[in-house]
Chain A
Amino acid sequence: MKRWLMVLPLAVFLVVAVFLYRGLSLDPAELPSAMIGKPFPAFSLPTVQGDKTLTQADLIGKPALVNVWATWCISCRVEHPVLNKLAEKGVVIYGINYKDDNASALKWLAEFHNPYQLDIRDEDGNLGLNLGVYGAPETFFIDAKGVIRDKFVGVIDEVIWREQLAAKYQALVDEAKP
């Protein structure tokens, strides 16, 4: 009985140490999306170019990235060239221009090249709200049926793409193949 009590502090210490050690590698700012596994929320919004109206049905058919961006978002500018490269490689990317001034968005796309196959214009941020967006850039991964499968918050750079995200996208592409 006494022996057992003697190791108790050590046991408690070890349990606490394991939790604290684990805590070192956790990012407290990381917020698991509540949207994963849910279909893309319904919307009906014009394009940034203003030539037509898009709905959630337009996103169905191909696995894709849905990138939330804005011209006021400084890190989006860092991300943009990477998206251009991915689009060149054949990655399907749709863009949501989130709470932005449309003229600036058009200018941005003309100046920096447009990697998006569709440009959704979410001026009021309602679609963003329904997606649970809390900043930009954010990128959703949708499958061929338009279900949200994953989400990445922050700037996608080449290392992150290669090491974390490419495999996720590829899995969705492979899944869509008959």
Chain B
Amino acid sequence: MKRWLTAAVLVLGLVGVAHAAIDTYEFARDGDRERFRELTKELRCPKCQNQDIADSNAPIAADLRKEIFRMLGEGKDNQQIIDFMVDRYGDFVRYKPALTGKTALLWFGPAALLLGGLVVMAVIVRRRRAAPTDGSDALSAQERQRLDQLLDKKTDD
């Protein structure tokens, strides 16, 4: 029993160690942890391109996390930290790209498409409404005759 208990305590101890290895940064100010999380979520890992640097295990992502931690410690604001990254790795590292001429399509494209769709829909609906309903439903004398003919034929069979 005692041996089992010791083993359990040891295993529990290991859990603590494993956890500490994931997040080793001690933040000086309260808000810094939150900002660190935000920044590492918003910045993209240059090596493994579909991950943010918070998620990535690539050495470069670890370096960038370290660098962000250092800059937070120096009291830099978010914009300064993002500019630092963009200066080195380009707009590419931002999951939320800056609004420039180049990225305007990216920012406004979806809204423009939605707007275009709404306009097309409005035009179609309006046209349907404006279309005369009496003319299309009523049959001309000729049509009625033909219809009678067809119906008669059918009853004859």
Alpha-carbon distance between A135 and B45 when the two chains are bound, in angstroms: 11
A9-64 contacts to B, CB under 8 A, are 28-29, 31-35
Known: A129-B67, A134-B47, A135-B47. A31 touches B90 (CB 8 A): yes
A125 touches B63 (CB 8 A): yes
Report the minimal beta-carbon distance from B64 to chain A, rounded to whole angstroms.
Answer: 8
Alpha-carbon distance between A46 and B91 when the two chains are bound, in angstroms: 32
Known: A99-B59, A129-B63, A134-B60. A29 touches B88 (CB 8 A): no
Alpha-carbon distance between A28 and B46 when the two chains are bound, in angstroms: 12
Alpha-carbon distance between A119 and B46 when the two chains are bound, in angstroms: 26
Contact with B along A106-144 (1 / 0, CB 8 A): 000000000000000000010001111111000000000
Report the minimal beta-carbon distance from B57 to chain A, rounded to whole angstroms.
Answer: 14
Known: A99-B59, A125-B63. A34 touches B49 (CB 8 A): no
Confirm or deny: B108 has a beta carbon within 8 angstroms of a beta carbon on chain A.
Answer: no
How many residue pairs at the A-B interface have CB separations less than 8 Å? 36
Report the minimal beta-carbon distance from B35 to chain A, rounded to whole angstroms.
Answer: 20
Name the residue of chain B whose CB is nearest to the CB of A135: B47
Q: How large is the interface on A (under 10, 10 to 19, 20 to 34, 35 or more residues)?
A: 10 to 19
**Number of B residues, CB within 8 Å of A:** 15
Contact with B along A65-102 (1 / 0, CB 8 A): 00000000000000000000000000000000001000
Known: A99-B59, A129-B67. A134 touches B46 (CB 8 A): yes
A32 touches B90 (CB 8 A): yes
Alpha-carbon distance between A29 and B87 when the two chains are bound, in angstroms: 19
Q: Please, which residues of chain B bring their CB within 8 A of the CB of A125?
A: 63
Q: Please, which residues of chain A bring their CB within 8 A of the CB of B47?
A: 134-135
Name the residue of chain A whose CB is nearest to the CB of B91: A34
Within the complex, which residue of B59, B88, B91 is in contact with A132, where a contact is CB–CB below 8 Å? B88
B59 touches A130 (CB 8 A): no
Q: Please, which residues of chain A bring their CB within 8 A of the CB of B63?
A: 125, 129
Q: Please, which residues of chain A bring their CB within 8 A of the CB of B46?
A: 31, 132, 134
Q: List 10 A-B contacts (CB under 8 A).
A: A29-B49, A31-B92, A33-B90, A34-B88, A35-B88, A125-B63, A130-B88, A133-B60, A134-B47, A134-B89
Enumerate chain A interface residues (CB-CB to B < 8 A).
28-29, 31-35, 99, 125, 129-135
Other A-B pairs, 4, CB within 8 Å; known A31-B49, A34-B87, A134-B46: A28-B49, A31-B46, A32-B90, A34-B91
